[in-house]
Structure 1
């Protein structure tokens, strides 16, 4: 049987079809266009699945999405793609596609892919981090996703980093996501410098006073956030994913900031860069 994976991201939807040997048969990306609403996303996924399965008939479908399915309501919750919140995404897609699907949180799919075939292969307990449009995490224990009692295991992006801090879409104040997601980091740069610049430009201009201030704040928040995770989970490895994982200083300065804040006399948790790039999610979805 062929395996179809769909990665529903904040800015793009990627689809992949793998054969029985996990070789890529078809692969395609389309923009999410979340500003056009829930119905548009359903249509985009339907068209994408049709495009990548046009030459096959026997296939399974796994979909990864920001947020999680509520065990209470069956609806999407905790999604930074806010038009999905409160919607029966799994059920609607099953009706449209005419097939049963497996749906999982995007960070869980990322962590599964990296723990199975990526940077953390061979480690028993893996914490997979997504730092991009939002901040999320997934936990893999001995090759299996640990979802938790209510499907929120790994959601470090909504730990409170600063009490009474930045307002988050989730309704709380001071969430990790409001400090070290891509949009949050760009917003902070604008507050410091008055310049609206993309993150890729910002990280190339950190030599001045403003740059040093921005970087120190980023590293402090990154350090506290992941140190808290290590204190609770004590994983064998941490893998970074999402666009922010491409910032090289996170693997030296960032690692040191984390280590300095962990409650232990021995801190050697590997903080690894992903091997599968921004396609880890779609591979993880197919592996479901």
Structure 2
């Protein structure tokens, strides 16, 4: 049995998978925010509870966390759960749980889940995309997660928007403090902010993403223009990934992955920016939805 844990800012979710990937147990508890030792205790108790539910001992534990995880020290940095920063979460959990623990960025866990038994199962090279409150990603080659020597593999949210137009320079401020990064255009809040600028609304007071989608579906010209700009920017940004990794499949995750028109419109917007005379990469919706992160942690 293997345990996957998704350590989020508001909840910690756990899942137990049998060796064949069958779900045996699942539970979630509130995250003890700004309480690092409390989080360790909650995870230990959650594991014991899940063992009881599954009726078997858990032999391996994987955990996905927001931020970057140093491959040597196991220390967490850069995530929005700031109380984890600087701690050896992997080592502390290994000691508390008395069994091996692997740890990775939550976007990497999403990519691994979809590559192992999700929408990209069987593909050799997979890039997993998170389009949500932030923009992240991870890539998997032959079923193996590629994190990189700096533990930032797949962080495409922090590359500059490719081929920026005059009205896209220097671009909005990214969460990392640099203007014009992909995340500053393609996250959910920044899509809504782009629409607010278009209609002259104060940022934060315009329609939310799902409202923009509904407005566009109903024929609202400004909302349609906003989604077309988003799709164009997404196409340009994914083309960079294709030119570097040439993946078999790109799997979209996060809240914006539920916008059905992306799968119809974006591939044709990627192709003109791809080097060469063909573009065969599939762009698909995730299979496991919100469960991808916690399942990927188990597959670590």
The bucket for the TM-score relative to the shorter chain is 0.7 to 0.9
Deviating more after overlay: 127-136 vs 156-165: 156-165
Q: Does 1:52 align with 2:50?
A: yes
Shift of 1:58: 4.1
Counterpart CA distance in 2 for 1:277 and 1:126 is: 16
Q: How many residues align?
A: 285
Find the counterpart in structure 1 of residue 5 from structure 2.
Answer: 6
Asked if 1:188 is matched to 2:194, the reply is yes
- Are the counterparts in 1 of residues 6 and 14 from structure 2 also a CA contact under 8 Å? yes
CA distance in structure 1 between the aligned counterparts of 2:10 and 2:196, rounded to whole angstroms = 22
Please name the residue that 1:229 is paired with. Answer: 241
Q: 1:37 to 1:115 in 2, by over 3 A?
A: same
Structure 2 portions without partners, runs of 5+:
none
Shift of 1:69: 1.4
The CA RMSD measured in Å over matched residues stands at 2.4
Residue in 2 that maps onto 1:17: 16
2:46 and 2:207 map into 1 onto residues whose CA distance is 32
Following the alignment from structure 2 to structure 1, what is the Cα–Cα distance between the partners of residues 252 and 119? 10
Q: 1:253 aligns with which of 265, 271, 276?
A: 265
Which piece of structure 1 moves more, 131-140 or 165-174?
Answer: 165-174
Cα distance, 1:71–1:112 mapped onto 2, change above 3 Å: closer
| Alpha carbons 2:248, 2:280 under 8 Å: kept | no
**What are the superposed Cα offsets for residues 119-155 of structure 1, whole Å, 9 maximum, x if unpaired?**
1112111111111122111111111111222221111
Residue by residue over 1:144-189, the C-alpha shift from the partner in whole angstroms, topping out at 9 and shown as x without a partner, is 1112222211111111116632222323222211211122223333
Q: Which ranges in structure 1 are unaligned for 5 or more consecutive residues? A: none
Aligned residue in 1 for 2:34: 37
Superposed counterparts of 1:91-106, under 5 Å:
91-106=91-106
**Which residue of the partner structure matches residue 140 of structure 1?**
140
Query: Computing the radius of gyration over CA atoms, which structure comes out larger, 1 or 2?
Result: 2
For residue 214 of structure 2, give the secondary structure of its aligned residue in structure 1. Answer: coil
In structure 1, C-alpha distance between the alignment counterparts of 2:24 and 2:71, rounded to whole Å: 34
Shift of 1:196: 4.3
- CA 91–186 in structure 1, closer or farther in 2 if over 3 Å, else same: farther
Give secondary structure in 2 for the equivalent of 1:203: helix
* Of 237-246 and 19-28, the range deviating more from structure 2: 19-28
> SS where residue 179 of structure 1 aligns?
helix
CA distance in 2, matches of 1:117, 1:25: 16
- How far apart, CA to CA, are the structure 2 residues paired with 1:217 and 1:12? 34
For residues 23-63 of structure 1, the C-alpha deviation after alignment (integer angstroms, 9 at most, x for no partner) is 22211234547xx3253654543443333223544432110
Q: Give the TM-score normalised by the residue count of structure 2.
A: 0.85
